[in-house]
Amino acid sequence: MTISSALPTEQRREWEHFPHDADVGLRGWGATPAEAFEQAALALMAIVTQAEVNPEIAVRLKCEAPDLELLFVEWLNAIIYEMAVRNMLFGRFLVRIENDRLEGTLWGEPVDVERHAPACEPKGATYTALRVAKDTDGRWSAACIVDV
């Protein structure tokens, strides 16, 4: 698959990691749930590498769940699955959410161990500290703990 014309040119950083025993918490923010999911995906990648990931290959995926929180876990786990089976890292994300369905595009490249220096391999997003909600400032946030 090649890069589509919908490749986001730049994604600002609106995410954070937060501590959780042996695992890692991540949170993304955005004007919409879709933007918060995109930011959380960037936080997921930052667990693995601090190196820039080139948007050489586009991967499309679809998820479905009965509510936004479960859809968020499905999204992160779909990314983790794509990373594992394709041996790729991703650095840009585009999400569209409609009702209980998500369509996403991930842009990335094959893992280059020397350049990316992967720090760990996420095993899965969990329901621990799971929260997707509109905050008091009007922005959406999406958070959970990722098993590493």
pLDDT, one tens digit per residue, over 87-138 is 999 999 999 999 999 999 999 999 999 999 998 999 999 999 999 999 999 9
pLDDT-derived band at 66 (thresholds 50, 70, 90) equals very high
Quick check: 104 and 93 in contact, CB under 8 A?
A: yes
The candidate with the shortest Cα–Cα distance to 73, out of 135, 140, 128, 11, is 128
**Mean pLDDT, all residues of the chain:** 93
* pLDDT for the residue numbered 37: 98
- % of the chain residues with pLDDT over 90: 86
Q: What percent of the chain has pLDDT over 70?
A: 93
Which of 71, 76, 101, 66 is closest to 26 using CA atoms?
Answer: 76
pLDDT tens digit string along 70-92? Answer: 999 999 999 999 999 999 999 99
